[in-house]
Structure 1
Amino acid sequence: MIRAARMQRGMTAAELGGRIGVSRGVIQRMEAGEPGTSIGAAFEAAVVLGLPLFDAPTSQLGALLGQKQQVNTLLPRRAFQASQAKPDNDF
């Protein structure tokens, strides 16, 4: 859900990390669901992205998760596309 909200806002992992005071790698691990990430950082990311934390009824969480998974399949893997230009190594 964090990744979908971040990409929907056009925010890179580095930008979100800068807003909450963690590195890009922490954001990537958080989005991947790695258990070693800080719950505090996850809560801060949710607040910055405007995601509901505690007020959503349990019946709506399943529907919300399904919607977010559908959106995730449509989003690009990166927030921006890397340059496709080949470097000029002719010195």
Structure 2
Amino acid sequence: MARVRTYSPATLDATVTLGLLVAAARRERRMTAAELCERVGITRQTLRAIESGAPTVAIGTVFEVATVLAVPLFDRDPVGLATVRARLNERLAVLPQRVRPVAEVDDDF
């Protein structure tokens, strides 16, 4: 039996919003669902799921569809995105690689 996954309202709002952006961009470019599916290499069912905001579609697939349609994800400028990525890599470099739970100290004497 498949495990049922629940998502927070904020996650669902984000996926629905991104789906609406994808649907609007596709229609504005007068691209049929079949054309977009062929170009990206997905099924129409997957495209329907993306456009309806299903949170179960692989993030790489959603990003590829958004990129093909020129839907802005983070920064329109590739240099800006590279800068953000570099800053995040620097930030991660100074943080611990592993996070361990804090051990509870028994100081009850």
- TM (normalized to structure 1)? 0.58
Aligned residues: 56
Aligned counterparts of 2:58 and 2:67: Cα–Cα separation in 1: 14
What is the deviation of 1:12?
1.3
Cα root mean square deviation, aligned: 1.2
The structure with higher relative contact order (CA 8 Å, sep 6+) is 1
Extract unaligned runs of 5+ from structure 1. Answer: 57-91
State the distance in 2 between where 1:38 and 1:30 align: 9
The whole-number CA distance in structure 1 between the counterparts of 2:51 and 2:29 is: 15
Instruction: Return the offset for 1:14.
Output: 1.5
**CA offset at residue 52 of structure 1?**
1.1
Structure 2: unaligned runs, 5 residues or longer: 1-20, 77-109
Match of 1:27 in 2: 47
User: Does the alignment pair 1:4 with 2:20?
Assistant: no
Identity %: 48
The one-letter code of the counterpart of 1:11 is: M
TM-score between the two structures when normalised by the length of structure 2: 0.49
In 1, Cα distance between equivalents of 2:67 and 2:60:
11
CA distance in 2, matches of 1:27, 1:10: 15
Q: How does 1:38-77 map to 2 (within 5 A)?
A: 38-55=58-75
